[in-house]
A and B are shown apart, each in its own frame.
Chain A
Amino acid sequence: EAGVVQSPRYKIIEKKQPVAFWCNPISGHNTLYWYLQNLGQGPELLIRYENEEAVDDSQLPKDRFSAERLKGVDSTLKIQPAELGDSAVYLCASSSTGGYSYNEQFFGPGTRLTVL
């Protein structure tokens, strides 16, 4: 079974440039998460989707971040414009929906973003 796929794995951009990250979850997983992981820290949730619907986006900085999950499968996270403080690893995860399923989230390898 294929795991969560993310691309690109690494991205280097200059500040004020836009950037986009793509995620393909595990087949059949209706719940998709985007996390931010700073160096030496644990992941922090940015947004959670149940199918196409964003049901928890309270931690997403909406002035510069946006996300979409068209057709309830792949998802894209965008930053525009990027700031120096956005340098971090962006993790995508997926899980089945409901109950104990939320405990077992399957993570992709992440996209390491460097903003110069």
Chain B
Amino acid sequence: QKEVEQDPGPLSVPEGAIVSLNCTYSNSAFQYFMWYRQYSRKGPELLMYTYSSGNKEDGRFTAQVDKSSKYISLFIRDSQPSDSATYLCAMRSGGYNKLIFGAGTRLAVHP
């Protein structure tokens, strides 16, 4: 079993929809939770990160972490065709520890 599980999709939604992307994990030592976005033929770019449990909002994006359930989510409001990409969750424990990535969920937002 992988440390981080993520549904690969693809997920297809109409423009303007609310998108929910999720990851589950097994390592209770994880403290930092990241969401990266990767466009085709590009490297990943950080969208946002959260420390421990709770919510964090940045524009149309909201990240949620539920450590008791070992479950994290990314919500995208008013989705746009430009949001079409692969979304990777990543997490690590404290101090330095390498990022453990999920497999990524492919999202397509159609006009």
What is the number of residues of chain A that contact chain B, defined by CB distance less than 8 Å?
21
Contacts between chains A and B (CB distance < 8 A), count: 56
Contacts of B42 on A, CB cut-off 8 Å?
Answer: 109-110
Report yes or no: B88 in contact with A42, Cβ–Cβ below 8 A: yes
Report yes or no: A45 in contact with B43, Cβ–Cβ below 8 A: no
Report yes or no: B43 in contact with A91, Cβ–Cβ below 8 A: yes
Q: Name B43's contact: one of A41, A48, A102, A108 (CB within 8 Å).
A: A108
Report yes or no: B46 in contact with A103, Cβ–Cβ below 8 A: yes
Q: How far is the CB of B57 from chain A (nearest CB, A)?
A: 17
Q: Give Cα distance in the complex from A6 to B111, angstroms.
A: 34
Report yes or no: B98 in contact with A40, Cβ–Cβ below 8 A: no
Report yes or no: B49 in contact with A104, Cβ–Cβ below 8 A: yes
Please tell me if A21 contacts chain B, counting CB pairs below 8 Å: no
Q: Name B98's contact: one of A4, A56, A110 (CB within 8 Å).
A: A56
Please tell me if A49 contacts chain B, counting CB pairs below 8 Å: no
Please tell me if B60 contacts chain A, counting CB pairs below 8 Å: no
Please tell me if A43 contacts chain B, counting CB pairs below 8 Å: yes
Contacts of A108 on B, CB cut-off 8 Å?
Answer: 43
Report yes or no: B44 in contact with A43, Cβ–Cβ below 8 A: yes
Contacts of B6 on A, CB cut-off 8 Å?
Answer: 42
**With A103-B34, A103-B92 known to touch, is A42 a contact of B103 (CB < 8 Å)?**
yes
Closest to B42 in A: A109
Contacts of A40 on B, CB cut-off 8 Å?
Answer: 8, 103-104
Residues of B within 8 A of A (CB): 4, 6, 8, 32, 34, 41-46, 49, 51, 88, 90, 92, 96-99, 101-104
Residues of A within 8 A of B (CB): 4, 40-45, 48, 56, 91, 93, 100, 102-110
